[in-house]
Amino acid sequence: MRTQVGIVGAGPAGLMLAHLLYQQGIETIVVESRSRDYLESRVRAGVLEQGTVDTLNESGVGERMRRQGLIHLGIELSFSGARHRIDMHELTGGRAITVYGQQEVVKDLIQARLDAGLPLHFEVEATSIHNLDTDAPKIRFRKDGTSHEITCDYIAGCDGFHGISRPAIADALQIFERVYPFGWLGILAQSKPPSEELIYCHHERGFALFSMRSPEVTRLYLQCAPDEDIAQWPDARIWEELELRLGPEGSLPEGSLNDESLHLEEGTILQKGVTPMRSFVAEPMQYGNLFLAGDAAHIVPPTGAKGMNLAIADVRVLSRALATFYQTGNNSLLEAYSTTCLRRVWRAEHFSWWMTSLLHRFPDATPFQQRLQLSELAYVASSRAAATALAENYVGLPF
């Protein structure tokens, strides 16, 4: 097999790249180790930045998102027994986020690819990549017991954190990493969300996040141990813990609780899982004719919802660089790919680390550090300058 750009992985990065390149008349083959059904039902991120929404719309795959996505103009922070709204729309001159599940984005992109009749191979695992510093790099995979090869001009490693692309160039990379001493237990439930906007809760029992997928389906997260045993969390315990973290804390000053109390409606839990949390960046995001994009190159802790948005931003840069090369022969944008992406990546790394540090209970935090955390929360909730910094990062900086 031969193609212009071989793409390993059909997550948001690989699928979006294939779609953007198709629109530029560039040939691609996508190989994905999992089944279509698995990809379309894997519950992950849910918050799209304005720039991600624009990218989906401009490339003609935004129709269902425009109908079903929920536009949010603000978020709430809950701490010390009170809730505070951050009006992102007003603070950012009219920008907003859209709540629309990652697996819905994936469904829309798979459908567009299949409608165009273009190659997308499910349940095909790339086993290795070769000849990266030549002009004919190769992807090797096994199917039906035999070995196959795709010869490409370029390879895009969009195979996530546990893929094969980044390890193939490990010797050429510098790694920056931080592992957090907690994870998130996430559930998807058939019940009305407690609020129309997302609520990020700082609580003495640990962080909680109240999000949603639709007016009838809620997505909720609880801070837990990084290796938490999900078997220890029967449904009743999850609801009880969520209720506690949405409510007041133990030692509140009199009268500090908002009188408007929230109602957490319990419903059938459709899915649950534990995600450990880390910050990770591999530099540079390119070696020879291999380009890494999305989680293959970087990971953020989920607080602030940047993971999928960064994946889309990377492939936007890569698709433009490849289009320029194929149209003009000029490879300067390809050479600048890593530097261009890393500027946005490091901004998102800092923001996600900051949101994580602001909102979680750190097992080894001293009383001094706990007071600093509360002081910073109070500052974000009361200062227009501090709230604007949160808001402009949250909605996503312009491309």
How far apart CA 156 and CA 30 sit, in angstroms, is 10
The answer to whether residue 200 is catalytic is: yes
Active site residue 302: yes
| Residue 166, phi then psi, degrees to nearest 5 | -65, -45
65 sits in which H/E element: helix 63-68
Interface with ligand FAD, residue 11, by CB under 6 A? yes
304 contacts ligand DHB (rule: CB under 6 A): yes
Query: Which string of x and - marks every residue 94-133 that binds ligand FAD (by CB under 6 A)?
Result: --------x----------------------xx-------
Among the listed residues 47, 106, 132, 168, the single contact to ligand DHB using CB under 6 A = 47
User: How many residues does this entry show for the chain?
Assistant: 399
Q: Is 183 in the site for ligand DHB (CB under 6 A)?
A: no
Cβ 398 to ligand FAD shortest distance, Å: 19
46 interacts with ligand DHB by CB under 6 A: yes
What is the C-alpha to C-alpha distance for residues 203 and 78, in angstroms, rounded to an integer?
8
For residue 137 the two structure tokens come to 């790099």
Q: Are 109 and 52 in contact (CB under 8 A)?
A: no
The answer to whether 395 contacts ligand DHB (rule: CB under 6 A) is no
In the numeric block, the tokens 């909730």 are attached to 381
Cβ closest to ligand DHB, residue 211 vs residue 279:
211
**Could you identify the residue written with the tokens 């720039």?**
51
Residue position matching structure tokens 């002009």? 135
72 tagged catalytic: yes
| Beta carbon of residue 355, minimum distance to ligand FAD (angstroms, whole number) | 11
- Contact segment (CB under 6 A) with ligand FAD among 159-167, 249-257, 278-286, 332-340 equals 159-167
* The one-letter amino acid at 184: W
What are φ and ψ of residue 365, in 5° steps?
-70, 135
| Smallest gap from residue 384 Cβ to ligand DHB (A) | 22
Catalytic residue among 154, 180, 287, 394: 394
Catalytic entry in 200, 221, 287, 337: 200
Closest distance to ligand DHB from the beta carbon of 305 (Å): 4
User: 394 catalytic, yes or no?
Assistant: yes
Q: Which stretch binds ligand DHB (CB under 6 A): 11-19, 172-180, 277-285, 297-305?
A: 297-305
User: Among residues 390, 398, 395, 399, which one has the least CA distance to residue 77?
Assistant: 390
Establish how many alpha carbons lie within 13 A of residue 219's alpha carbon, considering only the half-sphere containing its beta carbon.
17
Among residues 142 and 350, whose Cβ is nearest to ligand DHB? 350
- Give the nearest distance from C-beta 266 to ligand DHB in angstroms: 18
Enumerate the β-bridge partners of residue 227: none
Amino acid at 148: H
* Pairing label, strands 217-224, 174-190: antiparallel
CA angle in degrees (0–180, nearest 5) for 385-388-390: 115
CA-closest candidate to residue 308, choices 321, 293, 322: 293
Residue 21 makes contact with ligand FAD by CB under 6 A: no
Nearer to ligand FAD, 112 or 365 (CB): 112
- Site for ligand DHB (CB under 6 A): which residue of 10, 45, 185, 342? 45
Residues that bind ligand FAD (CB under 6 A): 8-14, 31-34, 39, 44-45, 102, 125-126, 158-160, 163-164, 275, 294-295, 302, 305-308, 311
What residues are annotated to the active site? 72, 200, 302, 306, 394
